[in-house]
Amino acid sequence: MEVVMREPGLKAQLFRFVDVLPALDGAHSVTDHLRQYVGPVRGKLPRLINGVLNYLPEDGWVGERFAEVTRWGVGRLARQFIAATDMRGVFAAVEKLRRKRLAFTLDLVGEAVLSEAEASAYQQRYLELIAQLCDRGVDWKTDPLIDHDHHGPLAKVNLSLKLSSLYSQFDPIDPAGTSAAVRERLRPIFRLAKARGALVNLDMEQYAFKNVTLRIFREILEEEEFCDWRDVGVVVQAYLRDSERDLWELSEWAVGRGSPVWVRLVKGAYWDYETTIAQQNDWPAPVFTSKPQSDANFERLTDFLLDHHDVLRPAIASHNVRSIAHALAAARVRNLPTGSVEFQMLYGMADEIHPALVEMGQRVRIYTPMGELLPGMAYLVRRLLENTSNESFLRAGFLEHAPEEQLLMNPMELIERDTVASARKLAGTLPAPDGFVNEPLSDFSRESARAAMHQALEQVARQLGETYPLVIGGKRVQTGGRIESINPSHCRQIVGSSGRAGVDQARAAVEIAKEAFAGWRVTPAQHRAAILSRCAEIMRRRRFELAAWEVYETGKQWREADADVAEAIDYCEYYGREMIRLSKPIRRDVAGEQNEYFYIPRGVAVTIAPWNFPLAILCGMTSAALAAGNTVVMKPAEQSPVIAAKLMEVFEQAGMPAGVVNYLPGVGEEIGPALVGHPDVEIIAFTGSRAVGLEIQRQAAQTPAGQDHVKRVITEMGGKNAIIVDESADLDEAVHGVVASAFGYAGQKCSACSRSIVLASIHDSFLARLVEVTKSVRIGPAEDPAAMVGPVIDQEARDRILRAIEKGKGEADLAYAADLGSLANEGWYIGAHIFSGMRPTASIAQEEIFGPVLAVMRASDLGEAIGIANGTPYALTGGIYSRSPANVERVRREMRVGNLYINRKITGALVDRQPFGGFKLSGIGSKAGGPDYLLQFLIPKTVTENTLRRGFAPEMSAVDAGAAGE
Please report, as ranges, the residues that interact with ligand NAD according to CB under 6 A.
608-613, 617, 635, 637-638, 668-669, 672-673, 676, 687-689, 692, 695-696, 716-719, 750, 848, 850, 876, 917-918, 922-923
371 or 610, CB closer to ligand NAD? Answer: 610
Question: Counting Cβ atoms within 10 Å, is residue 642 exposed (0-12), middle (13-18) or buried (19+)?
Answer: buried
Beta-carbon neighbour count of residue 813 at 10 Å? 13
698 or 941, CB closer to ligand NAD? Answer: 698
Minimum distance, C-beta of residue 197 to ligand NAD, in the bound complex (Å): 59
Question: Helix/strand/coil (H, E, C) string of 940-954?
Answer: EEEEEEECCECCECC
Single-letter residue type at 157: V
* Rounded distance between C-alpha atoms, residue 214 and residue 202, angstroms: 9
Minimum distance, C-beta of residue 686 to ligand NAD, in the bound complex (Å): 6
Minimum distance, C-beta of residue 921 to ligand NAD, in the bound complex (Å): 10
Minimum distance, C-beta of residue 671 to ligand NAD, in the bound complex (Å): 8
Minimum distance, C-beta of residue 597 to ligand NAD, in the bound complex (Å): 30
* Rounded distance between C-alpha atoms, residue 349 and residue 342, angstroms: 17
Q: What phi, psi does 377 have (nearest 5°)?
A: -60, -40
453 or 793, CB closer to ligand NAD? Answer: 793
Residue 651's H or E segment, with its range, is helix 641-653
Minimum distance, C-beta of residue 849 to ligand NAD, in the bound complex (Å): 10
Axis crossing angle, helix 321-333 with helix 291-307, rounded to the nearest 10: 30
217 or 613, CB closer to ligand NAD? Answer: 613
177 or 672, CB closer to ligand NAD? Answer: 672
Degrees (nearest 5) of the Cα angle 613, 615, 621? Answer: 90
* 24, 17 contact by CB (below 8 A): no
137 or 666, CB closer to ligand NAD? Answer: 666
Catalytic: 359? Answer: no
Residue 640's H or E segment, with its range, is none
β-strand pairing of 342-346 with 753-759:
unpaired
95 or 695, CB closer to ligand NAD? Answer: 695
- Which residue from 681, 525, 146, 87 is spatially nearest to 363, judged by alpha carbons? 146
Degrees (nearest 5) of the Cα angle 106, 111, 116? Answer: 105
693 or 831, CB closer to ligand NAD? Answer: 693
β-strand pairing of 466-468 with 494-499:
parallel
* 370, 83 contact by CB (below 8 A): yes
Please count the residues of the chain.
966
Kindly state the DSSP code that residue 658 receives in the 8-state scheme.
Answer: B
Minimum distance, C-beta of residue 672 to ligand NAD, in the bound complex (Å): 2
341 or 928, CB closer to ligand NAD? Answer: 928
Q: Which of 58, 716, 783, 847 is catalytic?
A: 716
* Rounded distance between C-alpha atoms, residue 235 and residue 213, angstroms: 10
Minimum distance, C-beta of residue 777 to ligand NAD, in the bound complex (Å): 22
SS3 324: helix
* Rounded distance between C-alpha atoms, residue 261 and residue 220, angstroms: 13
Kindly state the DSSP code that residue 283 receives in the 8-state scheme.
Answer: P
Beta-carbon neighbour count of residue 159 at 10 Å? 21
Question: Counting Cβ atoms within 10 Å, is residue 587 exposed (0-12), middle (13-18) or buried (19+)?
Answer: middle
Put the strands of the sheet holding 466-468 in their side by side order.
Answer: 466-468, 494-499, 482-486
Kindly state the DSSP code that residue 64 receives in the 8-state scheme.
Answer: H
* Rounded distance between C-alpha atoms, residue 829 and residue 784, angstroms: 14
Distance between first and last Cα of the chain: 61
Task: Name the CA radius of gyration of the chain, rounded.
Answer: 32
Catalytic: 727? Answer: no
| b/e burial code for range 196-230 (CB count within 10 A of at least 16 → b) | eebbbbbbbbbbbbbbbbbbbbbbbbeeeebeebb
304 or 611, CB closer to ligand NAD? Answer: 611
Minimum distance, C-beta of residue 699 to ligand NAD, in the bound complex (Å): 8
* Rounded distance between C-alpha atoms, residue 919 and residue 717, angstroms: 9
Q: Which of 535, 750, 753, 783 is catalytic?
A: 750
The DSSP line for 115-150 is: SHHHHHHHHHHHHHHHHHHHHHHTTSPP-HHHHEET
* Rounded distance between C-alpha atoms, residue 134 and residue 129, angstroms: 8
Minimum distance, C-beta of residue 495 to ligand NAD, in the bound complex (Å): 16
Minimum distance, C-beta of residue 918 to ligand NAD, in the bound complex (Å): 6
* 557, 778 contact by CB (below 8 A): no
* 545, 459 contact by CB (below 8 A): yes
* Rounded distance between C-alpha atoms, residue 860 and residue 494, angstroms: 51
* 582, 930 contact by CB (below 8 A): no
* Rounded distance between C-alpha atoms, residue 959 and residue 946, angstroms: 12
544 or 937, CB closer to ligand NAD? Answer: 937
Provide the CA 682 distance to its chain's centre, in angstroms. 39
Minimum distance, C-beta of residue 679 to ligand NAD, in the bound complex (Å): 16
Residue nearest to ligand NAD (CB): 672
Minimum distance, C-beta of residue 620 to ligand NAD, in the bound complex (Å): 9
Question: Among all residues, which ones are annotated catalytic?
Answer: 716, 750
